[in-house]
Structure 1
Amino acid sequence: MKIGYVIGNSTPTEFLATLDPERPVRLYEYVAVDSVEIPPEEEEQVQVRLLGQVVRIFRDPYQLKRDLPLYEVVEGVSHDLLEVQIAKVKILGYLWNGEIHMPKMPPRIGAPVVLATDEEVAELYGRGELCVGRLAARPLDICLDMEGIKRHAAVIAATGSGKTWFSVVLIEELLKRGAHVVVLDPHGEYVPVRDTVQRLGPIGAVTVRVSRHHAGDVMYKIGVLDMDPEALADAAGVPPKATKIRYAIYLAHSLAKAAYKRGSLRRAGPKALARILREAQRGEQRLRSLLKGWGYAEEDERVSELAELAKRDRHSIFSASAYLKKLSRLGVFASRTTPLSKLTSNLTVVNLAGVGEEIQDYVAWHILTRIFRARVRHVRGLKGPKLERPVVVFLEEAHRFAPPKSARRTRAYEAVARIAAEGRKFGVYLVVITQRPSRVDPDVMSQMQSQIIMRIVNPKDQEAVRDSSEQLAQEYLENLPGLDKGEAVILGPLLRLPAVVRLRDRVLEYGGGDIALSEAWRSEEPGGRNVVEEGCSGGRPIPQRRSPRLRCA
């Protein structure tokens, strides 16, 4: 169906078309125009059909005199003003022998522009395996190329635009094809995904938690003797300039490790390190007696050094012990590290909720490092724990774990950057998810060759997206604020060509949706208090006049 004609600014990459006002065309619609080209391996010109996408539409008054005040012109000819509708079309290429080629010559001025057929558009995008939705302008399914995930991907959107929605849909598609998916989840939003995964069939799933008070099948633990003493101090929250406290932790850690390697001590957690410091406060003999009981009776100058430090600066020893006890209460840091085999399933959700950002950062680094090393061992045939299947890691709130190096340094950045740079060689693929791409390290973002970009309003974030993407044309960038919820621009190795896609409905559940304030603030009684005293079993709380505490009715 003819919808217009090619007019000015015709180039091999784009052209302007005037549209038939009786046949309106939507943004992102697919059009075609006949042209001539010399295809690869051909010697003569042949007729080809250039396929393009409408990336901008605007209306303009015909031959309006720009030097006259607009109001006066419209006031005088408001009923006779001629209006034209102009479309900017980005040329996607032409199909020749099953391949897409870009033209070397522009379409001629005056050539008719028609709507592309569904068959032409479908052939343009090919057929992938990961069916995430439909084209925004056509009722055609879009399925991503599963091989494209090997080049990593970024899901970018403002809050509430549907980035978690897309992530869940992509997880569904990967699980259907037997992938091993690991989700690092700072807020516990993906726990319902694990709980509803059986809707997809007999798929194994496990939730790993780092807080005793949050949902999870397995409590993740990190053996303190497997840690670097400086990292242990960082995880405990010891200030970087508290050198004496850090040195006390270093001495306690090194003595416990020596007792483990050369004594009869099985393992040592934070409590054991705190006990070493406590005994050091009581004197060198008490400390040697403790180590001897653990089977470590060697003459070690670190024993005298720690005892002397405790004698000179009891405050530092006491503070170091307090930091270690704090770690022990968290439950994450213990005597032994959770075996990697307990974390292995088709879907592994690491629920990081319930602990501070410093602990989340360290746990993320620890898990990502173990996954990467396990895949390296498998690929290279080395000794140690291995993961036999490739892994796709979804990193939610990526700006927390991999911020720009100029802003702050996180421990997880090291693992994220290494996977981004080397992961594809060893079968560890990364999907970073963020609403603030400007706060993610640009070196990491540049490695995310596929991008799923949803509604973005912040100019800094738009600039960051443009800098990190080689394929995002300015026209798509300008249209990002106008995307509806659930619409996304997808580009990179996941698709043969960029496309604007409307996501399909998800099967699995996820949390983190907005709170309905009309429901949350609804009260049965005018002036009622939204407080229930712990321990009241179904009773109505009654305010007391002389005390802020409540008693049960």
Structure 2
Amino acid sequence: MGETTPFEFKFLMAGEAPRGSYVKVKEGSKDWMVAQVMEVTRSNVAYSLSAIDEENPGAKERVLGLARVIGVASGGRLEMAAAPPRPGDPVFRADDHLIEMALGLSKGNLYIGLLEGHDLKVKLDADALVQKHCSILAKTGSGKSYTAAVVLEELLEKGVALLIIDPHGEYASMKQKNSKGEFARFDVSPRGYDVTVYSPASSAAAPHADRPLRFNGRNLTAREISAMLPEDVTNSQRGVLYEAIKVLEAEGGDYGLEEIIAQAEKDSSKAKWGLIGHLEALADLGIFSGKPTGLGDLLQRGRASIIDMTGVPPDLQGMIVAKLLSDLFEARKRGRVNPGMVVVEEAHNYIPERGSGRAASTPVIRTIAAEGRKFGLGLLVISQRPARVDKNVISQCNTQIILRVTNPNDLRALSKGIEGMSSELEEEIKRLPPGTAMLVGGEIEHPVTVKVRPRKSRHGGVSTPIVGDGRADRGGKAAPPQPKGPDKRQDSGKAERKEPAGGLLRKILGK
């Protein structure tokens, strides 16, 4: 009814068509125009403030819908609408097959959940998601890590090799079956996955890990060490490093971090002390001691290797990620490791936006985002603070999975980093309930709202209750600790360094 355009129209409802549902109108003689209901309004002239009809208080109620046109389904394809629908034409509920075709839901093989308001499975294309990168963005408590694990489960079942940078040890629980969820409704069955947990920390700091993560620390080049140093390291400090290694290489000896530190101490420049502090931090962590971890072990098809950063000071995590991903990317370019996907949880700590902090890992992650597709290395970035994540990386992610975001800065960041982000879409994102995600980009033809399916594996990111019945304090049964496997680790890691107060505060707020 009223004025219509090729982009939207209003219609009078005889039945129920809730906000977010899909409708169809005949376009021409055979094709259907598909649209989504964006707004629903209800009115009754008997209760109008301008004209109250006292003789007929039960005047007929009218329900109007505003529908946004998605396109015209023609010959199995979705085309742009060229002409508006005719006022007076009947509007019908769109059938499932038409919705699937119009939204591109039938093209994928990664089952994410059910289309909001329908029992239609929403699937993403695995190759497109891995090769063209993906981001999962949400505020704390909206189901960000839970949704990420759903995506990872699907990738593992498709045989994709995963390397997960896990700051809080949330993903180790993927080894175990889930016991809670609407499994029948979403047509899933609980199961565990092949997961190996690596830790850069000492065995005392991370006894739950399956294996230590160690690098070959012998005869490192100045370029390799420089890539691990924070971005705020000065040119003078880098000069001391290059000079020290140049001397050691000229002597023709076998050297490690201790020898580099000793040689740097002989330098007359005052800049040496800042450099020595960074090098001693790496040496104290023990990351270069013991047997090096094989890069080929970290990317195995259908398996997840989790780099658990628990017990590692925040200022060193970026250095470790920089070294690990640099080595892995070089090995992948030479075909020495399997293709796969790198998953970066709490990405704002490892690829911060300019002005939000610095991290040694930023350059290599930017490189993977820009060039990884050519070499078969995908990227999945996950963050609760979109405004603090490097926009160059976010813009390289072709698939966006967005849960509830309410912070104005974060919403502005989404608008800048995601193509086609409109003010209406921002309002939708602000109102998303927990466990519901909006899919933007990728092979999906139109942004869709999805009720995320239950995890098949156990969720390890549940918040710890603070206000409770106090049973643990009274000697009652407390929450069970995380299961620990046999300690298979063999390392000579040194004592853990104390964490700076600022880094500790950020870590608490993040958890």
Q: TM-score, normalised by structure 1?
A: 0.73
Q: Secondary structure at the match of 2:467?
A: helix
Is the 1:133–1:503 contact (alpha carbons within 8 Å) kept by the matching residues of 2?
yes
Residue identity in the other structure for 1:56: E
Residue equivalent to 1:165 = 146
Q: Secondary structure at the match of 1:355?
A: coil
Residue 106 of structure 1 deviates from its aligned partner by 0.8
Q: Secondary structure at the match of 2:73?
A: strand
Q: Are 1:87 and 2:74 matched, yes or no?
A: no
Distance 1:227 1:8 in 2: 73
Q: Are 1:155 and 2:136 matched, yes or no?
A: yes
Residue equivalent to 2:359 = 410
CA displacement, residues 232-286 of structure 1 (integer Å, 9 cap, x when unaligned)? 479678974695x766555444333444xx23x3xx33333345567x5xxxxxx
Q: Secondary structure at the match of 1:518?
A: coil
Distance 2:280 2:358 in 1: 26
Out of 367, 379, 396, the position equivalent to 2:324 is: 367
Q: Which moved more, 1:227-236 or 1:424-433?
A: 227-236
Describe how 1:59-78 pairs up with structure 2 within 5 A: 59-60=42-43, 62=45
Residue equivalent to 1:222 = 215
**Pair 424,96 (structure 1): closer, same or farther in 2 beyond 3 Å:** same
Residue equivalent to 2:341 = 392
Q: Which moved more, 1:317-326 or 1:448-457?
A: 317-326
Q: Secondary structure at the match of 1:373?
A: helix
Residue equivalent to 1:534 = none
Greater share of residues in helix: 1
Is the 1:166–1:503 contact (alpha carbons within 8 Å) kept by the matching residues of 2?
yes
Is the 1:53–1:92 contact (alpha carbons within 8 Å) kept by the matching residues of 2?
yes
Distance 1:120 1:395 in 2: 36
**Pair 496,211 (structure 1): closer, same or farther in 2 beyond 3 Å:** same
Is the 1:132–1:144 contact (alpha carbons within 8 Å) kept by the matching residues of 2?
yes
Residue identity in the other structure for 1:377: R
**Pair 369,520 (structure 1): closer, same or farther in 2 beyond 3 Å:** farther
**Pair 442,79 (structure 1): closer, same or farther in 2 beyond 3 Å:** farther
Q: Secondary structure at the match of 2:140?
A: coil
Is the 2:405–2:430 contact (alpha carbons within 8 Å) kept by the matching residues of 1?
yes
Distance 2:71 2:227 in 1: 54
Residue 455 of structure 1 deviates from its aligned partner by 0.9
Residue equivalent to 1:132 = 112
Residue identity in the other structure for 2:316: I
Is the 2:219–2:256 contact (alpha carbons within 8 Å) kept by the matching residues of 1?
no
Is the 1:153–1:451 contact (alpha carbons within 8 Å) kept by the matching residues of 2?
yes
Q: Are 1:28 and 2:6 matched, yes or no?
A: no
Is the 1:225–1:253 contact (alpha carbons within 8 Å) kept by the matching residues of 2?
no
Residue 497 of structure 1 deviates from its aligned partner by 3.3
Distance 1:31 1:182 in 2: 42
Distance 1:58 1:482 in 2: 18
Residue 227 of structure 1 deviates from its aligned partner by 4.9
Residue identity in the other structure for 2:116: A
Residue 59 of structure 1 deviates from its aligned partner by 3.4
Distance 1:451 1:333 in 2: 37
Out of 272, 275, 286, the position equivalent to 2:259 is: 272
**Pair 511,273 (structure 1): closer, same or farther in 2 beyond 3 Å:** same
Residue equivalent to 1:96 = 74
Distance 2:410 2:43 in 1: 31
Distance 2:401 2:230 in 1: 36
Q: Are 1:146 and 2:126 matched, yes or no?
A: yes
Residue equivalent to 2:299 = 344
Residue equivalent to 1:328 = 283
**Pair 77,429 (structure 1): closer, same or farther in 2 beyond 3 Å:** farther
Residue 323 of structure 1 deviates from its aligned partner by 5.5
Distance 1:418 1:78 in 2: 70
Is the 1:194–1:347 contact (alpha carbons within 8 Å) kept by the matching residues of 2?
no
Out of 10, 18, 34, the position equivalent to 2:4 is: 10
Residue equivalent to 1:19 = 13
Q: Are 1:208 and 2:203 matched, yes or no?
A: no
Residue identity in the other structure for 2:94: A
List runs of 5+ in structure 2 lacking aligned partners: 179-188, 476-511
Q: Secondary structure at the match of 1:126?
A: helix
Residue identity in the other structure for 2:309: L
CA displacement, residues 147-188 of structure 1 (integer Å, 9 cap, x when unaligned)? 321221111111111111111111111111111111111222
Residue 47 of structure 1 deviates from its aligned partner by 3.0
Q: TM-score, normalised by structure 2?
A: 0.79
**Number of residues of Structure 1 aligned to a counterpart in Structure 2:** 457
CA displacement, residues 394-445 of structure 1 (integer Å, 9 cap, x when unaligned)? 1111122222234444322211221222211111111111121121222221
| Percent of aligned pairs sharing the same letter | 27
Residue 454 of structure 1 deviates from its aligned partner by 1.0
Is the 2:108–2:126 contact (alpha carbons within 8 Å) kept by the matching residues of 1?
yes
Is the 2:198–2:307 contact (alpha carbons within 8 Å) kept by the matching residues of 1?
yes
**Pair 179,77 (structure 1): closer, same or farther in 2 beyond 3 Å:** farther
Distance 1:453 1:502 in 2: 12
Bigger radius of gyration: 1
Residue 357 of structure 1 deviates from its aligned partner by 2.5
Residue equivalent to 1:53 = 36
CA displacement, residues 34-59 of structure 1 (integer Å, 9 cap, x when unaligned)? 122xxxxxxxxx43211111122233
Residue 499 of structure 1 deviates from its aligned partner by 1.6
Is the 2:45–2:51 contact (alpha carbons within 8 Å) kept by the matching residues of 1?
no
List runs of 5+ in structure 1 lacking aligned partners: 1-6, 37-45, 281-305, 379-385, 527-553
Distance 1:525 1:203 in 2: 37
Residue equivalent to 1:254 = 246
Q: Secondary structure at the match of 1:94?
A: strand
RMSD of aligned Cα (Å): 3.5
Is the 2:163–2:298 contact (alpha carbons within 8 Å) kept by the matching residues of 1?
no
Q: Which moved more, 1:140-149 or 1:499-508?
A: 140-149
CA displacement, residues 478-519 of structure 1 (integer Å, 9 cap, x when unaligned)? 121221111111121242432211011101124222112234
Residue 194 of structure 1 deviates from its aligned partner by 4.5
CA displacement, residues 11-62 of structure 1 (integer Å, 9 cap, x when unaligned)? 2122222323xx33222111111122xxxxxxxxx43211111122233565
Residue equivalent to 1:376 = 333
Distance 2:365 2:53 in 1: 61
* Greater RCO (Cα-Cα under 8 Å, separation 6 or more): 2
Q: Secondary structure at the match of 2:419?
A: coil
Distance 1:30 1:170 in 2: 26
**Pair 119,104 (structure 1): closer, same or farther in 2 beyond 3 Å:** same
